[in-house]
Amino acid sequence: MSAGPGIYFDGKTSTRQAVTVDAAPTALRILSNDGATLAEWPYADLQSLAAPENLLRLGRRSTRSLERLEIRDTGLAAMIDQLAVSIDRTGIAERRGRKKVIAWTFAACASLVLVAVFGVPAIADRLAPLIPLSVERNLGVAVDKQIRAMLDTSRSNGRPFECGDASRERAGREALDRLMRRMERAAELPIPLDAKVVRRREANAIALPGGHIYVFEGLIQRARSPDELAAVLAHEIGHVANRDGTRSILQAAGLSFLFGMLLGDFTGGGVVVIAARTIVQSAYARDVEAAADLYGVRLMAKIGGDGKALGTILERIGGLEPGITILSDHPETKARIQAINAAAWPKTGDPVMSPDDWVALTRICG
Amino acid sequence: MTFVDLPGAVPGGGVVTPPPTTAVPSVPLTPSRAQGPVRFTGNGRAYLWLLIRGALLLAVTLGIYRFWLSTDVRRFLWVHTEIDGDSLEYTGTPFELLIGFLIAVAVLIPIYVGLFVLALNLGVIGQFMGILALPLLAFLGQFAVYRARRYRLTRTVFRGIRFHQGGSALRFAVYAMFWWILIVLTIGLAYPFAQAALERFKMKNTYYGNLRGRFEGSGFDLLFRGIAMWLLVMVPLVGSIAYASAAIDWSSIKSISGATDFEELLRQFSAANPKLVLTLGTAMAIANLSVTFAILLFPVFQAVVMRWWINGLRIGEVAISSQLRVGTIYYSYVRFVGWSLLLGLIAIIVAIIGAVVMAVVGKSVAGQQSMEILGVVGAVLFYVVIMLGYSTIYQATVKLTMWRHAVATVAIANLPALDNVVAEGVPSSALGEGLADALNVGGI
């Protein structure tokens, strides 16, 4: 038996035509009930289309028309399946195509990770120096506002967040300004520096784009010599000089873009983007901190201070933690201290600040 | 699966379709199709398998597989939906979706970059760029919704004839933005009218071959069906605000002086209002009632809107009506919550075991740094599995039930009008799908 019943839609109207389908040697012939040939489809032109399990739905490859032939007769369907090589009823061809896609996606992901780890920082490194200082200053103002909102958690018992404004704190503020002016002259940066001490218990300091430096009260309390405090300031000035804040903003934007675009509608993609960014960025941070350490040591040498002081304060506080991150942004402290000691010159000049100034500075927060 | 079971008259539909088994059908049915005009023939297990496999591939391809998965899902749903004996066909391909996505990326990159540069240049004002960008992206989202609908319709074939959609997506987006602003301003009361108006816009531009669609649902009708729910959610909320503002002596806030920070202000304020904590607590408890109602009523709301929507659909002379039951939709949500809780329980057990193993084995092998990174990678992996798990459960319970039940409870009047439709329309590009994907406003 080479013929059986089928339903034919001619693609011009929705009329359902009960037809006889004849599986001839070279082509499928569609015959109306009165015996007239409605269409003749060569086997090579046949295409199997999405249909329920018990139905063979055929169309033609070569035409844009939506002509359809539907066959429920399993015997006839199996015969057509054998005659027409192009029919992919079991879906083998499509599965093969999909495997290819999945394999290439793997390759693309690998390449994406490489771009994220090596490409984005390279681009950010080259872009950051090109950003005009005026833009960097604007950026600094915006970031400054957000960072302040994040840090100022109103735990200062009614006193202002910034230290150095009350009358008994003013001497400390002047001492800090003198130290900063000395370091600024030595650093010769194209951007003015602005260091402030704020009431936070952590022993930390942060540098923002645009030359803003925040020193936390906790750091001043734990520093045992003016050189230690100056060394931390020198490290932060290193971040400003290397334009690390701007670079990290460029990197964050680039990485969000890279991962965000790719992941698209993927459920919960947003969180994955942030996590991926954190991991990749904390990897960048290790190099950045090492560079700032070196800069800090050199700047200390320029002002005649003790570069090794950066190592001693690091050892005491166990690494400077910039901001609130889940990953340690600093290379393991021991290795850092070794690198610092290797690069440091012996102390040559006068003390970085007078003993009176140092006493005043330790009381900058009252 | 239940077939159409009509009590005689269809509320809202206006046209009566008899149950297929009764003796005198006013609309003659072809003898060969005795099972009822519309039915769903899909197998829930096969669908679940498709979803689970898809979720695994999504995870390993960082989401690129989504184009293949959504094509598979649509094919499954379309092909197993049978109208008057003939099944629908979905002719869209994953590659079309991929290309649509790439076009969308090409369109969106300049916009994103432009916004970023603008934010950099504006300094302080730049901080508000996010807020300024939101309406623009919402507008693009509505544009995408309309264009994506057009893609899906032109890839839907029934009896060798495609559906298609005209109308300007830009006009739709303007229209939709206007209505959404109104919805916000009226705290949701405009929602029924917005739905009716937007659906009228969509349906009057929808065609099956040369048959033009229209929408006959009325906003008042939906308002009438939903107002009780709206009141249940709104009354406690408004009540709690009113109670709090009446019971607290707000005038005392003026007499507070010398308070430089919020804590000091709060301290003086509560001194002036000795029962402040109690009052605020009561108000919060009442407001919580609103939230509870909103969560419990959400499936009901969805079912009511869906039935109202299906009842309003018309294509040419063909009228569609629905006997959708709220209970069925509600039960699907209960199943979703049940399976989700089970998944959550398993996930917590696995996480605890993983943490213990890492603490015992990992510490001796790896350094602190690599342990931290390992921890984050583990947490991300955990999160991805959980999110994909929930989304799979949601698709397999709520979404499938909605489609299956909506299809199974549909009655169609004047079916013969579908027998002589003339082909019209051309396939559209998948730009809308791509935009919707990139902007996270995707539909099915």
- Cα torsion at B290, B294, B295, B297 (round to 10°)? 130
Alpha helices, DSSP H, located in A46-169: 74-83, 92-114, 120-127, 133-151
Q: Which residues pair with B412 in a beta bridge?
A: B320
Contact criterion met (CB < 8 Å) for A265 and B440:
yes
Average pLDDT score over residue span B261-282: 73
Summarised one tens digit per residue, pLDDT across range A107-165 is 887 887 788 778 888 888 888 888 888 888 887 887 787 777 777 765 556 677 888 88
Query: Mean pLDDT over residues A182-206, rounded?
Result: 86
Q: Where are the domains of chain A?
A: 3-90, 131-362
pLDDT in tens, B78-90: 999 999 889 999 9
List the beta bridge partners of residue B162: B157
What's the pLDDT at B15?
Answer: 37
Query: SS3 for A11?
Result: coil
b/e burial code for range B63-83 (CB count within 10 A of at least 16 → b): bbbbbbbbbbbbbbbbbbbbb
Q: Which of B208, B261, B441 should be substituted to probe chain A, the one whose Cβ sees the most A Cβ atoms within 10 Å?
A: B261
- Assigned CATH topology for domain A3-90: PH-domain like (2.30.29)
Confidence check: pLDDT of B205 > 80: yes
- The length of chain A, given as a count of residues: 366
Interface of A with B in 106-135 (CB under 8 A): 106, 108-109, 112, 135
User: Average model confidence (pLDDT) for chain B?
Assistant: 81
CA B325 – CA B330 distance, rounded (Å): 9
Residue in this structure with the two tokens 């350490």, named with its chain if needed: A293
Mean pLDDT of A294-323: 79
Q: Mean per-residue pLDDT for A352-362?
A: 87
Q: What is the pLDDT of residue B24?
A: 39
Taking one residue from A and the other from B, the number of pairs with CB-CB distance under 8 angstroms is 168
With a cut of 70, say whether residue B259 has pLDDT above it.
Answer: no
Strand-pair partners of B87: B82
| Amino acid B213: pLDDT | 94
B39 in Cβ contact with B1 (< 8 Å): yes
Q: Does A51 touch chain B (CB under 8 A)?
A: yes
Residue-level pLDDT at A323: 38
Which has more confidence, A263 or B306? B306
A276 CB neighbour count, 10 Å cutoff = 23
Residue B363: its pLDDT value, please? 57
Query: Measured between alpha carbons, how far is B69 from A10 in angstroms, rounded to an integer?
Result: 31
What pTM, to 2 d.p., does this model score? 0.71
Tokens representing residue A15 in the block: 């009329």
Identify the pLDDT of residue B163. Answer: 94
Do A216 and A152 touch, CB atoms closer than 8 A?
no
Q: Give me the pLDDT at residue B18, please.
A: 39
On chain B, the residues whose CB falls within 8 A of the CB of A55 are: 87
Cβ under 8 Å to A: B residues 282-341 = none
pLDDT class of A328 with cuts at 50, 70, 90: very low
Name the helix (H) or strand (E) containing A108.
helix A92-114
b/e per residue B272-292 (b: at least 16 CB within 10 A)? ebeebeebbeebeebbebbee
Q: Closest Cα partner for A27 from A69, A83, A71?
A: A83
Residues B173/B143, Cβ–Cβ less than 8 Å: yes
User: 10 Å Cβ neighbour count for B104?
Assistant: 25
Residue A50 pLDDT more than 90? Answer: no
B131 contact A CB<8A: no
Both tokens assigned to B26? 């006013």
Distance set, CA B146 to CA A158, A309, B142, B161, B431 (Å)? 55, 65, 6, 21, 11
Minimal Cβ distance to B387: which of A49, A55, A268: A268
Element (H, E) at B318: strand B318-322
Q: Which residues of A touch B442 (CB under 8 A)?
A: 265
Q: Is the pLDDT of residue A173 over 70?
A: yes
* Measured distance CA(A247)–CA(A135) in Å, rounded: 13
The answer to whether the CB atoms of A68 and B442 lie below 8 A apart is no
The closest CB to that of B89, out of A50, A102, A108, belongs to A50
Q: Among the listed ranges A239-243, A278-282, B39-43, which one has the minimum average pLDDT value?
A: A278-282
Measured from the Cβ of residue B168, the count of other Cβ atoms closer than 10 Å reads: 12
- Give me the residues of B, 373-412, that contact A with CB < 8 A: 373, 376-377, 379-380, 383-384, 387-388, 390-391
Give Cα separations from A308 to A181, A341, B7, B160, B184 (angstroms). 22, 6, 90, 82, 62
Of the residues B97, B161, B381, B444, the best mutation for testing chain A's interface (the one with the most A CB atoms within 10 Å of its CB) is B161
- B306-356 confidence digits (pLDDT tens): 999 999 999 998 999 999 999 999 999 999 999 999 999 998 898 888 888
What's the full length of chain B, in residues? 444
Name chain B contacts of A265, Cβ cutoff 8 Å: 63, 66, 436-438, 440, 442
The 8-class DSSP code of residue B27 comes to S
Q: Residue A85: its pLDDT value, please? A: 78
In chain B, what residues touch A269 (CB-CB under 8 Å)?
A: 63
Q: Do B387 and A276 touch (CB under 8 A)?
A: no
Tell me, yes or no, if B141 comes closer than 8 A to chain A by beta carbon: no
Helix-, strand-, coil-residue percentages of chain A, each rounded to 5:
55, 15, 30
